[in-house]
Amino acid sequence: MARTAGENRTSRLTARGAATRARILRAAAELMYVRGVGATTLDDVRAASDTSKSQLYHHFADKDALVREVIALQAGQLLERQRQRLERLQSLRGLELWRDAIVQRNALRNGAYGCELGSLANELADQNEDARLALAAHFTTWQALLAAGLRRMRDNGALRPEADAERLATGVMAALQGGYLLAQTARDTTPMEIALDMALDQVRAYAVEPGAAGDQA
Amino acid sequence: MARTAGENRTSRLTARGAATRARILRAAAELMYVRGVGATTLDDVRAASDTSKSQLYHHFADKDALVREVIALQAGQLLERQRQRLERLQSLRGLELWRDAIVQRNALRNGAYGCELGSLANELADQNEDARLALAAHFTTWQALLAAGLRRMRDNGALRPEADAERLATGVMAALQGGYLLAQTARDTTPMEIALDMALDQVRAYAVEPGAAGDQA
CA distance B108 to B101: 11
Distance of CA A68 to the CA centre of its chain: 15
* Per-residue three-class SS string for B123-190: HHCCCCHHHHHHHHHHHHHHHHHHHHHHHHHHHCCCECCCCCHHHHHHHHHHHHHHHHHHHHHHCCCH
**CB atoms A113 and B126 under 8 Å:** yes
Amino acid, single-letter form, for residue B176 = L
Residue B94 lies in a domain: yes
Output the pLDDT for position B10. Answer: 53
* Per-residue three-class SS string for chain A: CHHHHHHHHHHCCCHHHHHHHHHHHHHHHHHHHHHCCCCCCHHHHHHHHCCCHHHHHHHCCCHHHHHHHHHHHHHHHHHHHHHHHHCCCCCHHHHHHHHHHHHHHHHCCCCCCCCHHHHHHHHHCCCCHHHHHHHHHHHHHHHHHHHHHHHHHHHCCCECCCCCHHHHHHHHHHHHHHHHHHHHHHCCCHHHHHHHHHHHHHHHCCECCCCCCCCCC
Total domains, chain A: 2
Residue A194 lies in a domain: yes
Domain that holds residue B38: 1-61
pLDDT band at residue B86 under the 50/70/90 scheme = very high
Same domain assignment for residues B106 and B2: no
Residue B68 lies in a domain: no
Query: Does A178 contact B at CB distance below 8 Å?
Result: yes
Cβ neighbourhood burial of A2 (10 Å; 0-12, 13-18, 19+) = exposed
> Of A61, A86, A113, which one is at a domain's C-terminal end?
A61
Q: Using alpha carbons, select from B119, B67, B53 the residue that is nearest to residue A181.
A: B119
**Hey, which residues does A159 pair with through a beta bridge?**
A207
pLDDT band at residue B29 under the 50/70/90 scheme = very high
Q: Which of B126, B141, B150, B180 to mutate to test the interface with A (most CBs of A within 10 A)?
A: B126
CA distances from residue A106 to A34, A73, A76, A184, A193 in whole angstroms, order as listed: 13, 19, 18, 9, 10
- Dmax over Cα atoms in chain A, in whole Å? 65
Output the pLDDT for position B14. Answer: 87
Same domain assignment for residues A47 and A92: no
Q: Which of A119, A176, A181, A190 to mutate to test the interface with B (most CBs of B within 10 A)?
A: A181
B206 → chain A, closest CA residue: A214
Instruction: Show pLDDT as tens, one digit a residue, over chain A (217 residues).
Output: 445 555 555 556 688 899 999 999 999 999 999 999 988 999 999 999 999 999 999 999 999 999 999 999 999 999 999 999 999 999 999 999 999 999 999 999 999 999 999 999 999 999 999 999 999 999 999 999 999 999 999 999 999 999 999 999 999 999 999 999 999 999 999 999 999 999 999 999 999 865 444 444 3
**CB atoms B36 and A176 under 8 Å:** no
Output the pLDDT for position A98. Answer: 98
Residue B117 lies in a domain: yes
What integer is the mean pLDDT of B74-99?
Answer: 97
Cβ neighbours of A122 in B, within 8 Å: 114, 118-119, 122-123, 181, 184
Residue B66 lies in a domain: no
Same domain assignment for residues A113 and A35: no
**CB atoms B123 and A126 under 8 Å:** no
Q: Using alpha carbons, select from B55, B215, B26, B181 the residue that is nearest to residue A126.
A: B181
Same domain assignment for residues A148 and A119: yes
Query: How much is the CA Rg of chain B, to the nearest whole Å?
Result: 20
SS3 state of residue B59: helix
Same domain assignment for residues A90 and A124: yes
The B residues from 13 to 52 touching A (CB cutoff 8 Å) are 34-39
Distance of CA A96 to the CA centre of its chain: 18
Same domain assignment for residues A18 and A113: no
Residue A166 lies in a domain: yes
Cβ neighbours of A114 in B, within 8 Å: 122, 125
Angle (nearest 5°) at CA B108 between B116 and B102: 55
CA distance A67 to B133: 29
Output the pLDDT for position B210. Answer: 52
> Of A18, A40, A61, which one is at a domain's C-terminal end?
A61
Output the pLDDT for position A210. Answer: 52
Arithmetic mean of pLDDT over chain B: 92
CA distance A209 to A190: 28
Closest partner residue to A39 among B127, B191, B201, by Cβ? Answer: B127
What integer is the mean pLDDT of B50-71?
Answer: 96
Cβ neighbours of A170 in B, within 8 Å: 182, 191, 194-195, 198
pLDDT band at residue B7 under the 50/70/90 scheme = low
B71-74: long-range contacts at Cβ-Cβ below 8 A with a sequence spacing of 24 or more?
A: B71/B120, B71/B124, B71/B131, B71/B134, B71/B135, B71/B138, B72/B134, B73/B25, B73/B26, B73/B29, B74/B29, B74/B33, B74/B116, B74/B117, B74/B120
What is the CATH classification number for the domain harbouring B155? 1.10.357.10
Same domain assignment for residues B56 and B104: no
pLDDT digits (tens, 9 = 90+) for B116-162: 999 999 999 999 999 999 999 999 999 999 999 999 999 999 999 99
Q: Between helices B92-107 and B129-155, what is the axis angle to 10°?
A: 140
Same domain assignment for residues A113 and A48: no
Query: Does A167 contact B at CB distance below 8 Å?
Result: yes
Same domain assignment for residues B83 and B20: no
pLDDT band at residue B31 under the 50/70/90 scheme = very high
pLDDT band at residue B79 under the 50/70/90 scheme = very high
What is the CATH classification number for the domain harbouring B6? 1.10.10
- From B79's Cα to the closest Cα of chain A, the distance in A is 17
Q: Say if residues A170 and A140 touch (Cβ distance below 8 Å).
A: no
What integer is the mean pLDDT of B98-118?
Answer: 96
B195 → chain A, closest CA residue: A171
Query: Does B118 contact A at CB distance below 8 Å?
Result: yes
CA atoms within 13 A on the CB side of B7: 4
CA distances from residue A2 to A12, A60, A134 in whole angstroms, order as listed: 16, 11, 14
- From A164's Cα to the closest Cα of chain B, the distance in A is 9
User: CB-based contacts of B96: which residues, under 8 Å, 6+ apart?
Assistant: B200
Residue B29 lies in a domain: yes
Query: Does B168 contact A at CB distance below 8 Å?
Result: yes
Evaluate whether ipTM surpasses 0.85: yes
Same domain assignment for residues B83 and B162: yes
- From A37's Cα to the closest Cα of chain B, the distance in A is 8
Same domain assignment for residues A39 and A83: no
B138 → chain A, closest CA residue: A185
Output the pLDDT for position A39. Answer: 87
Same domain assignment for residues A55 and A116: no
User: CB-based contacts of A26: which residues, under 8 Å, 6+ apart?
Assistant: A49, A73
Residue A66 lies in a domain: no
CA distance B150 to B95: 9
Output the pLDDT for position A1. Answer: 43
pLDDT digits (tens, 9 = 90+) for B158-215: 999 999 999 999 999 999 999 999 999 999 999 999 999 999 999 999 998 654 444 4
Output the pLDDT for position B214. Answer: 44
Output the pLDDT for position A14. Answer: 87
Amino acid, single-letter form, for residue A168 = L
